[in-house]
Structure 1
Amino acid sequence: MGRPRGMTSQGVGDTLARLARFLVVSDPGQLRLRSASQTTSTLVVALACLVVTTKALGQPITVAMLGSVVAMFSAFVVRDRSAAGRLLTTGLIVVPASVAVTVSTLLGPIRVAADVGFIVVLFTAVYVRRFGPRGFALGMGAFISYFFALFLRAQTAQLPYLLMAVVIGVAAALTVRFLFQREWAGAELTRLTRALRASALDVVDTVDPLGAEGYTPPIPGRHEAGARRTVAERLERLANTALMIEDWLDRNVAAAHVSVTGNDLSRRIFDAQQATEQVAFAMRGADPTTLSDPVRRAFAALRVVLHTTPSDDELRSARRVVTKAEAAATGSDQESIVIRSVARAVRAHTAVHRVAAHAIEREAAGERSSAPDAPTPTEASDDEASPSEQKGWYARLQPTTRTAIQVAVATSIATVLGEMVSPARWYWAVLSAFVVFTGTTTRGEILTRAGHRIVGTVVGVIAGVLLAALVGHDPPVQLALIVVCVFFAFYLVAVANGLLVFFITVLLAMLYGLLGTFSIAVLELRIVETCVGASVGITAAYFILPTRTRETVREKVDDYLEALDDLIVQCVDSVVEPGREVDLVPAARRLDLALQALQTAARPLQVGASDRRSLRVAPASRARRSTARLVRVLEACDRAAHALTRAGIVAAAADPSSAPSEDVREALRSGRDDVRASVAALRSVVREAGGDSEGYEGTRAHAMEQTPVTALVERDPEHLPTATRIAVRALDRLDHAAALTRVRI
């Protein structure tokens, strides 16, 4: 009996360890957790201060609620890059919020005037997004304040107290934000690097599941497509974590917190990411059950390095293991390639870990740097956005202007229809019509957002009714549930907007109960008004100055391929002429950001895409599958481009005398031109109206042939410089990926 208990305890421990790693990986740097905690703390502080103040002044609870809502959204919508900028924007919210509350309160008794005022506020809130994160925050502050003043039926006699509540709410948000921002930036970097290692460990566990505790070995020959998708998803998560560290480097002076410069740290992060990708690529098609003992020991050493807190002795031991295995892996067989890839990953992640360990030591010693934030690059406003390819006079309008006009039309119609449904709750329809445009730019995104909002509202009403029946009228419990709903709403909003709507709807049920106005009919009315508003928003997006998702995706693909072409040229030039001190990591990161923008834009087109093959499918289904396939291919191009970047970095640090021979250089240039031709052909296809693959099939024959640069490596691989070998393989992968793509967007 003792043995099963031990096994059960071990199983529970493994489950908890995997859960902890999932939480780290799914929220790199705990940024979502900190944001939700900050928003919730702001609400609690503001609510406590305002309840005491309003009671002392003899004002109703609605005054305290308005100030608390303003405080909560002041904490959430501020997204300036610098700490000083976030504090300044938070403080400035008091101005538009006060103006909006004043206008809403004064116009409230005049129904038509209040409706027009609301539409003007919504139009302005969208229009000012062109001024960047600060414009977005101030516009949302005005919108929220106007809406909740209407929702709480503010009276003119309460106006001085309402303005006082706004000031107290913003002051609470400033106080909590200042306290949260006092945390040393090194702690954030430590959490981000821990998330990077956890993401890398997820990748390793996917390609070598036998070595992972609690994992079941895969069945050979089955679930191969699912396994490839899992690897791709985890590599994407690893890439996103690396980009978050790059964002940290943009906001902070690295040398003030760690022992290396920002460029050095950026290169180490890139090397760790690319080394992990190389391990996954080397293990492609391998059977984990047939790996030899040296390979198994190398993977065990990599897992030690990727552990959350490996000791210095463990790191040294891991390096000794892979160094010994690498010395014996002199062949070009698959296991030797895997061992060399794993050894490089061990060294790369060890280098990152030592930087993070230095940050931890400084934090433990109580050191704090007074160095200012890193200079924030000027963010391009929507006014400077590249012109759309769509036809029509409105193509000259800026995106914020176009969206503001759509919002004005949609909310005007929603106001009329909402009042027809319910003269007392019309604003729910207006709110839904507005919210579907928040954070969206294309028709596909708006359709997805509207669907999430409707589903979240319906499920939230059901949960709210059940919870209200269980709780009854118990103010302390209702307030506690409101706080819990706020935390989960803002913690999960980045996962799915529908989860935000769900928890906000449950929150409203508790709020109605607290105000003594709860009824099932009111919540049912919210569903109807939400559906009306979402439908109006979708209609406006499709027929009023539309921004088509497919055209946006084509633009993003074009931007990505342009960045890829630039990177290919820079990297091959570095390999052909080694010893030139050139930093290629920023160019690689620009490519990663372009891919990230493409993935976001293409997401609505991939809804419903399937990997199943069929001879008779609808055109829309073909387009979805083709878009999903294109994104996957470009993700593969991105990983090959990372390998090419590594070749350029290695060559840049090499001695100029190590330059390849003239025939090798000519072969490299020829390979570069071949890949660029494939990329150019793909760009021309994507740019075509309809995006079909006609005229692109000629490159498929080329992709099946052996290129001069590939033949070069197969003929004499051992006598080529390391950078040249890496570049040749990367160019070959890029050439095949680009040339074999069929596109229909």
Structure 2
Amino acid sequence: MLDRVARLDPGRAAWRRAVTATASLGAALVAGYGYSTLIAPAHGAALPMITSGVMAMQTSSAMAHPVWATRLRVALWAPLFFGSGLLIHSVATALGGIAVEIVAFALMTFIAVSVRRFGPDFSVLGLTGWTGFFISAFAAPSLAETVILLGGLPIAACVTFAVSILLRPHRPQNALAHVLRAWTAQTDAILADAEAILRQTNMTRRRRAAQRILNRSRHLTEISLLADGWLGQAASFPKTTPHSIRSHLFRMHTAVDTVVRTACDAADRLDDLRARAVHGIVSALARHDSDLAITRSNQLLDGRESVDLARFATDAIALATLRRDDPTSDEHLLVEFVPAASMAPDGSLGGSASIAPMVRPRGGPRTASWHLATRQAVQASLAVAIAAAAGLLLSVEHYTWAALTAFIIFLGPSTRGDIAAKAIYRAIGTLTGMVLAIPIVLATGAHPIVVIGIALLCCAVGYYLMSVSYVYLMLCTSLAVSEMYNIMGQFNSDFAAIRIAEVLVGSIVAVLVATLVVPISTTDAITHARQQLFRSIRELLNTAADHIHDQRPVDRHELLRMGKLVEEHTRQLAVVAAPLRVFRRGRSAIDIRVALRKYDEYCIHTRRVVSSLPEHGVGALGECADLRCRLHESLEALSEKLSIEMKPKKAS
């Protein structure tokens, strides 16, 4: 069970995010209640508690930054941004009616999204400012209540900063240890699936196990990239270096590729005697019996089997040895370690936003030079204004939910496919949450302590499962919102229907605007990511060929860095192609899966090249050159089919 949790959350990024957000929310609710009770008991504690809790929960994501000064800066600026949102709405309502309020909504949206260009911290600050405007529009506080809310914001910020110090210290060594544990658990799961393929006679179960191996192998690559990122942040290692750990994991990854592939082939192509020998080795590896795996692999080598089985036995010995021994130090203690993947402040890998800034939008030459944040600000502000106007047709009291939906959908996604997928997930999560909220609200009643407990539980579960699917976060958010309206005496079936309708309106408007107004095409993003992958493979193979031709020592650290870069570009290609797997069906969906599997194969082959070059002599290098030629032939054929210009020089 613990290994499964480690595999699902390597580095414990989701766990830390959920704990910090929930603790910040709970502490801010308590602080808001105490503040409102002492300062203005006649005005009630509900709105100050909601305001403090929401701001604390939002700013908790910025409190994952490794630099304490950055956390303190966010804690100081968050009340100012949130309070500015409250005051801007108060001024807008004083100047005019609904029309002025909608214009102010659009203006606030443009500002909140535009500041993202200054970094992730300003993304959070822009969100807090917009949320302050939304809460003022949603609750319509009086001038006295607004002053009370402004006074409680610095207290909530201080509480959030204190929680981050206590619960989220920056300890990259601990995070790296959790990632390495996840690596071991994921490798065990892959080897167990490979053993299941050899043991099973039912073809359907074999295919299912093969699909699990494919999915888990991709996740293993993500775990290795996370380890690479944390290696760049770790301060020191007593007996080894980051380069040695990277090399150790890379060679293990290559050995796992060969062992698993041979196991899958043995189930279909080898005779019973050889299949049993392969099964025995894989079974020993899955049980962590390194000595038995090495003994059986040596027996297979002594039998003078085919080249493929000999390579399998060699890699099985290497895998057993590497899993048994710790990484050793090397002479390159002063070589700077450069991670291949850039991580977000919370310790997760980046998404499609790393590709989108380099993709030309479809909107004419004038918009091509716009910064990504500017393009998204134009899209989001237009979508919020249209959604608010459309939401008014459904409900004058709750039209802000449509505006909120349109704004939130533009947080994070960059391509129109990502935005459409997030809109669908938001609609599904809201609908499911509102349906589940009806029996839960009837069962719990309007007891404040029970409602707060449910809100904290929803916050923890939603933030923890957010990396699995955005649906879970929206489901938990809908439950918490329903409980909030229940304690205010406003929850009923009509409210549930209006909220679902407003969310659908906001989602539809967001998708339409993302499709029609300076859109970033998902297909264009995939093309760019694919070209980036091909360029990185070409550079690696050309570097390897130069070493082969000149017969000079191989800079294995540079080749390892290039190999990790190929892995990162393969992952980015799968990320930007993810929306197509949501919307495409039938033959088109099969083509996407086949293409992604082919790119995974390219990554496996380049990993094999990098692992072979530093370890062996000139004869093995010649074998790698032959592998390079075959891989180049496949790439040239594929690039010609896709009309991508790529002309690598021939292997020597």
Normalising by structure 1, report the TM-score: 0.77
Contact kept, 8 Å, 2:430 with 2:475, in 1: the verdict is yes
Match of 2:13 in 1: 31
Q: Which moved more, 1:70-79 or 1:241-250?
A: 70-79
- Counterpart code for 2:437: G
CA–CA distance in 2 between the matches of 1:303 and 1:674? 32
Can you list the C-alpha shifts for 1:174-196, whole angstroms capped at 9, x where unaligned?
Answer: 11111123364332222111110
CA–CA distance in 1 between the matches of 2:518 and 2:574? 24
CA–CA distance in 1 between the matches of 2:513 and 2:583? 24
Candidates 636, 651, 659, aligned match of 2:618: 659
**Residue 596 of structure 2 is aligned to residue 631 of structure 1:** yes
CA–CA distance in 2 between the matches of 1:298 and 1:81? 43
CA RMSD between the two structures: 3.3
Quick one: structure 1 residues 439 and 378, their matched pair in 2 at CA, closer, same or farther if it must change by over 3 Å? closer
Match of 1:498 in 2: 471
CA–CA distance in 2 between the matches of 1:125 and 1:681? 46
Quick one: structure 1 residues 155 and 574, their matched pair in 2 at CA, closer, same or farther if it must change by over 3 Å? farther
Can you list the C-alpha shifts for 1:471-494, whole angstroms capped at 9, x where unaligned?
Answer: 112111111111111111111111
Quick one: structure 1 residues 399 and 686, their matched pair in 2 at CA, closer, same or farther if it must change by over 3 Å? farther
Contact kept, 8 Å, 1:127 with 1:400, in 2: the verdict is yes
Match of 2:300 in 1: 329
Cα displacement (A) at 1:627: 2.4
Cα displacement (A) at 1:455: 1.2
CA–CA distance in 2 between the matches of 1:239 and 1:50? 44
Match of 1:138 in 2: 125
Contact kept, 8 Å, 2:186 with 2:220, in 1: the verdict is yes
CA–CA distance in 2 between the matches of 1:265 and 1:686? 37
CA–CA distance in 2 between the matches of 1:375 and 1:673? 25
Cα displacement (A) at 1:498: 1.4
Cα displacement (A) at 1:578: 5.0
Secondary structure of the corresponding residue to residue 411 of structure 2: coil
Match of 1:451 in 2: 424
Can you list the C-alpha shifts for 1:233-289, whole angstroms capped at 9, x where unaligned?
Answer: 01011111111111112222243xx52112122222222222222221221222398
- Counterpart code for 2:59: S
Cα displacement (A) at 1:505: 0.5
CA–CA distance in 2 between the matches of 1:675 and 1:536? 45
- Counterpart code for 2:250: F
Secondary structure of the corresponding residue to residue 613 of structure 2: helix
Can you list the C-alpha shifts for 1:211-233, whole angstroms capped at 9, x where unaligned?
Answer: 9xxxxx42344455433322110
CA–CA distance in 2 between the matches of 1:375 and 1:328? 39
Contact kept, 8 Å, 2:239 with 2:328, in 1: the verdict is no
Candidates 251, 255, 258, aligned match of 1:278: 258
CA–CA distance in 1 between the matches of 2:4 and 2:629? 43
Cα displacement (A) at 1:291: 6.2
Match of 1:702 in 2: none
Contact kept, 8 Å, 1:128 with 1:139, in 2: the verdict is yes
Please give the residue correspondences for 1:278-677 in structure 2 after superposition, counting only pairs within 5 Å.
278-287=258-267, 295=278, 298-305=281-288, 318-330=289-301, 331-333=304-306, 336-352=310-326, 385-388=357-360, 390=362, 392-393=364-365, 394-576=367-549, 577-583=551-557, 584-607=559-582, 621-651=586-616, 658-660=617-619, 665=622, 672-673=628-629, 675-677=631-633
Quick one: structure 1 residues 353 and 468, their matched pair in 2 at CA, closer, same or farther if it must change by over 3 Å? farther
Contact kept, 8 Å, 1:565 with 1:679, in 2: the verdict is no
Secondary structure of the corresponding residue to residue 259 of structure 1: coil
Quick one: structure 1 residues 151 and 161, their matched pair in 2 at CA, closer, same or farther if it must change by over 3 Å? same
Contact kept, 8 Å, 2:110 with 2:377, in 1: the verdict is yes
Secondary structure of the corresponding residue to residue 187 of structure 2: helix
Contact kept, 8 Å, 2:297 with 2:316, in 1: the verdict is no
CA–CA distance in 2 between the matches of 1:346 and 1:627? 35
**Residue 244 of structure 2 is aligned to residue 264 of structure 1:** yes
Match of 2:335 in 1: none
Contact kept, 8 Å, 1:275 with 1:348, in 2: the verdict is no
Q: Percent identity?
A: 19
CA–CA distance in 2 between the matches of 1:92 and 1:679? 50
Contact kept, 8 Å, 1:557 with 1:686, in 2: the verdict is no
Q: Give the unaligned 5+ runs of structure 1.
A: 1-18, 212-216, 306-317, 356-372, 611-620, 652-657, 697-707, 710-727, 729-745
Cα displacement (A) at 1:389: 7.3
Cα displacement (A) at 1:592: 1.3
**Residue 63 of structure 2 is aligned to residue 97 of structure 1:** no
- Counterpart code for 1:103: I
Cα displacement (A) at 1:374: 10
CA–CA distance in 2 between the matches of 1:269 and 1:412? 51
**Residue 229 of structure 2 is aligned to residue 242 of structure 1:** no
Match of 1:20 in 2: 2
Quick one: structure 1 residues 74 and 660, their matched pair in 2 at CA, closer, same or farther if it must change by over 3 Å? same
**Residue 20 of structure 2 is aligned to residue 48 of structure 1:** no
Contact kept, 8 Å, 1:82 with 1:251, in 2: the verdict is no
Q: Give the unaligned 5+ runs of structure 2.
A: 330-337, 345-349
Can you list the C-alpha shifts for 1:613-652, whole angstroms capped at 9, x where unaligned?
Answer: xxxxxxxx5443322221110011111111111112325x
Quick one: structure 1 residues 321 and 376, their matched pair in 2 at CA, closer, same or farther if it must change by over 3 Å? closer
- Counterpart code for 1:32: A
**Residue 57 of structure 2 is aligned to residue 67 of structure 1:** no
Contact kept, 8 Å, 1:383 with 1:398, in 2: the verdict is no
Cα displacement (A) at 1:526: 0.5
Secondary structure of the corresponding residue to residue 207 of structure 1: helix
Contact kept, 8 Å, 1:456 with 1:499, in 2: the verdict is yes
Quick one: structure 1 residues 387 and 552, their matched pair in 2 at CA, closer, same or farther if it must change by over 3 Å? closer
Quick one: structure 1 residues 442 and 512, their matched pair in 2 at CA, closer, same or farther if it must change by over 3 Å? same
Cα displacement (A) at 1:159: 2.7
CA–CA distance in 1 between the matches of 2:55 and 2:182? 33
CA–CA distance in 2 between the matches of 1:575 and 1:86? 49
Quick one: structure 1 residues 352 and 512, their matched pair in 2 at CA, closer, same or farther if it must change by over 3 Å? farther
- Residue-pair matches, total: 621
Quick one: structure 1 residues 685 and 207, their matched pair in 2 at CA, closer, same or farther if it must change by over 3 Å? same
Can you list the C-alpha shifts for 1:121-151, whole angstroms capped at 9, x where unaligned?
Answer: 2112222222221222222222222222322
Contact kept, 8 Å, 1:193 with 1:352, in 2: the verdict is no
Can you list the C-alpha shifts for 1:671-727, whole angstroms capped at 9, x where unaligned?
Answer: 635533542442343346xx9xxxx9xxxxxxxxxxx99xxxxxxxxxxxxxxxxxx
CA–CA distance in 2 between the matches of 1:154 and 1:649? 68
